[in-house]
Amino acid sequence: MKATIQLEHKDITVNLKQPIDISLRLSAEENNPTAWYMDAPKIQPVKEGDWIAKVSEGASVNFNNIAFNPHAHGTHTECVGHISIEFYSINDCLQQFFFSAKVVSLTPEARGEDLVFSKKQIEKHFRKGEAEAIIIRSLPNSEKKRSKHYSHTNWPYLLEETALYLRACGVKHLLIDLPSVDKEKDDGKLLAHHAFWDYPKNTRLKATITEMIYVPQEVEDGNYLLNLQIASFHNDASPSKPVLYKIES
């Protein structure tokens, strides 16, 4: 089923029957991707005395409790409330869900013991006004990202200059296949987060950061329509399901 959508004052055509899901599955298994020193999520049936809310145990329904952390257990979208003194909810900040987007693949540069994404790298792939969202696929790209345990791995991250550049380019939504746009252990500075949201000087309440995505290898770099879906959590972050559609015309 093809649809023509007006996006940024021009019509584009996409095939809604060919979605590209770039989210990670959240499960209660040990191979669920994790970060920030958390154990795997828990999905367990409710229990009351001898009664277990599981059809295979004799109940009429399956009725599970789920315990997880959106920042640590898979694909999630966050607003400035993640770093602000003031409370901001992603459910209030993200009120539109379709955006022009560009996928770019980048090999991080070595800086001492770290791997980083520099402004110079981004400039080669993304220019001002190209898209509302940028989707960064880190190289090498491997299926292992679907189950990786990131704690204590010092993953690649964006330099502050890179986040500033993306903000200057008009990027409203930043997506990356790592647990954070910032260094794992940076003494709480979160320089890229602060730079991208321009907090606290001129806070961009409608801008979002989505982390722990996975862009399959067969997805080509280039322009797409992004559908950024979240659950209606009244929280700084929510599990999310970003979906891409290839632009046909």
pLDDT of residue 237: 98
- pLDDT of residue 9 exceeding 80, the answer is no
> Contact, 18 vs 238, CB < 8 A?
no
**What count of Cα atoms within 13 Å lies in the side-chain half-sphere of residue 63?**
11
Q: Is residue 61 part of a domain?
A: no
219-245 exposure pattern, b = at least 16 Cβ within 10 A, e = fewer: beeeebbbbbbbeebebbbbbbbbbbb
| Distance separating alpha carbons of residues 175 and 134, to the nearest angstrom | 6
Residue 120: give its domain's CATH number: 3.50.30.50
> Contact, 170 vs 132, CB < 8 A?
yes
Q: Is residue 35 part of a domain?
A: no
Write out pLDDT tens, residues 144-195: 999 999 999 999 999 999 999 999 999 999 999 999 999 999 999 999 999 9
| Distance separating alpha carbons of residues 139 and 124, to the nearest angstrom | 16
Tokens of 48: 């009351």
Residue 193: which of 177, 206, 213, 207 has the closest Cα? 207
| Distance separating alpha carbons of residues 99 and 110, to the nearest angstrom | 32
pLDDT of residue 12: 87
- Confidence label for 7 from pLDDT (cuts 50, 70 and 90): confident
* Mean pLDDT of the chain, nearest integer: 96
pLDDT of residue 2: 82
- pLDDT of residue 249 exceeding 80, the answer is no
Q: Is residue 168 part of a domain?
A: yes
Kindly state the percentage of the chain with pLDDT values over 90.
94
CA distances from 92 to 16, 208, 232 (A): 27, 12, 9
Q: Is residue 159 part of a domain?
A: yes
Q: Is residue 234 part of a domain?
A: yes
Q: Is residue 62 part of a domain?
A: no
Question: Which structural domain, as residue segments, surrounds residue 200?
Answer: 2-24+72-246
Q: Is residue 31 part of a domain?
A: no
Q: Is residue 94 part of a domain?
A: yes
Number of domains in the chain: 1
pTM for the predicted model, two decimal places: 0.97
- pLDDT of residue 6 exceeding 90, the answer is no
